[in-house]
A and B are shown apart, each in its own frame.
Chain A
C-alpha cells in the first residue's frame, strides 16, 4: 500500500475488519463511547450480519493491499438472523484453508465473536490481532502494486517484428 512505500517509516499494518450490525459493530461503538482505545490500523466495515460476508470481500481486501482481515460476529446461538453466523464460521474455515494453500500465514485472518456488551473484549482482540499482523510483516500482494513490473522482460529478449 502507498502508506508502506516509504521505507523510512515503521511498518503499520492495514487491517480490514468486518463487523455485524447487531453485535460487534455495537461493541466497537461501545468501546468508542467508553473511550477505550484500539489501534487505528483496523478499518471497520459494517455488515448487517457476519453471514453477509462473501469470501470475495476478504480476497478483495488482500488483493487490494490489506495485511490482515478480521471477521466478527455474534456469539454462536445469538445471531439476529438465527444461524447465519454459523455460515460465516463455515465459510471462514474453508476460506482460511484455501488461503493457507495459497501461501498465506494463517495469522492474517481471524474470526471473533463479540456481543454488543463486549466492548472491552473487542478492543483487546483487535489490538492483539494488530500486533500479530505487525509481527508477520507486510503482505504486499502484487495485485495491490504495479503488477506490470512482474512481466517486464529485458529489451534484448523481446520479440522483434520481422517487418520493423
Chain B
C-alpha cells in the first residue's frame, strides 16, 4: 500500500496523441474523486515522475494503470512490460492501446518510408538529410534513443491485459462510469467484471445507437461527404457516404452521425467481430446495388483507399496486422 494508505493509480502514454489524457481530464469534477480515492504515482503528462521511481516500486503495488498508446518503439515496450509487472489491473485505454489506431496506419508502409516521410518531405528543412541514429557517442558516453519496430503493435500483443477500454478517445462519461465502478469496488459495493472484459462501452453497434431512420440500403455510387447535402434524418450510409457504424462497437451514443458526420469507427470492432475491416467490408459489400462485376468494380472506385478506410483504427489489431510492405520493413 502507498504511503498515505490510498491505492496507487498510474497512467501512461506510449505511441499516442495525448487525446486520451485530455479525455480523462474532461471528466471535470470527477477528477477530484480520483484524487480522493487514489494516490497518483505515475502520470507523465500530468506530473513529474521518473522511470526509475516506477522501477523501484514493489511488483503489483499499483492498483490501477490506464495505458494508452500503441507499441511503436522499444521504449513503449519496455514501459508496457514494467507497468504490467508493477500493476494489479492493467487497462488498455483508448484505441491505440486496443487496436493500434492512427499510429498503426504506418503498418501499411515499410519503416524506411515512414522515416522518409518525416525527415525528407518538401516542407522539411533537412539539407544534409539527417536521420535519427539509435545510438550516438558523445564525450559523456553513449546516447541512445528508442529503436523503432518494423510494425506497430497493440498493448495485448506485448503484455497480458486485464481490461479493454476502447474509443479515440474514450468518451468522458464512460471514463467517469468506469472510475465510479472502481471506487465502488474499493468500497466493497461492487465486483470487478471478469478479466478480458471490454469496459466503458456498449455491447452492440453504433447503428444500434444511431437515431437516424434506416430504410433499405442500395448503393450505386459512393460520395465524399463534401459532395452531398446530407439529409439529417436518414441513415448516412443509405445516402451513399461510407459510414462505419455497422461494424463499430456502441458506447459513444452515435455522436458523429448525430452531428451529421459518418462514423469513422473509433470504438473498434463490435462484440464478436474478430476482424474489424472484414466485418465492415462484409456490411458495405452487401448493400451495393449491382450484380455485374464490372459495375461493382466501378462503384468501388469510390473507395480509393480501402485498407485505410476499413482499418483506419484497427490495423495493428487486425488479423493481418500490417501490409506486406510493413512486415518487410
Question: Per-residue CB proximity of A61-80 to B under 8 Å, as 1/0?
Answer: 01100000000000010000
In-complex Cβ contact of B323 among A58, A83, A86, A103 (8 A): A103
Nearest B-chain residue to A139, judged by Cβ: B324
Say whether B278 contacts A59, CB under 8 Å: yes
A97 touching B282 in the complex, CB below 8 Å, given contacts A59-B320, A150-B327: no
Interface residues on A, range: 35 or more
Picked from B78, B277, B281, B297, the residue with its CB within 8 Å of the CB of A159 is B78
* Contact indicator B135/A157 (Cβ below 8 Å): yes
The B contact surface, by secondary structure, is helix
Sort chain B's interface into a size bin. Answer: 35 or more
Scoring B residues 253 to 277 as 1 if CB is less than 8 Å from chain A, else 0, what string do you get? 0000000000000000000011101
Structural contact, A63 and B320, CB atoms closer than 8 A: yes
Which of A58, A89, A102, A150 has most B Cβ within 10 Å? A102
Which residues of chain B are within 8 angstroms of A91 by Cβ–Cβ distance? 281-282, 285-286
Chain A residue numbers with a CB within 8 Å of B171 are: none
Dominant SS among interface residues on chain A: helix
Across the two chains, which residue of chain A brings its CB closest to B318?
Answer: A59
* A54-B282 contact in complex given A59-B275, A60-B274, A89-B296, C-beta closer than 8 Å: yes
14 other contacts beyond A87-B286, A142-B321, A158-B78, with CB at 8 A cut-off? A55-B281, A76-B291, A87-B285, A93-B285, A94-B306, A97-B300, A98-B281, A102-B323, A151-B77, A151-B149, A157-B134, A159-B146, A162-B51, A163-B56
A positions within 8 Å CB-CB of B: 54-56, 58-60, 62-63, 76, 83, 86-87, 89-91, 93-95, 97-98, 101-104, 141-143, 150-151, 153, 157-159, 161-164
15 contacts between A and B (CB under 8 A): A58-B278, A62-B320, A86-B291, A87-B286, A89-B293, A90-B290, A93-B293, A94-B300, A97-B300, A97-B303, A101-B108, A101-B323, A104-B324, A150-B151, A158-B78
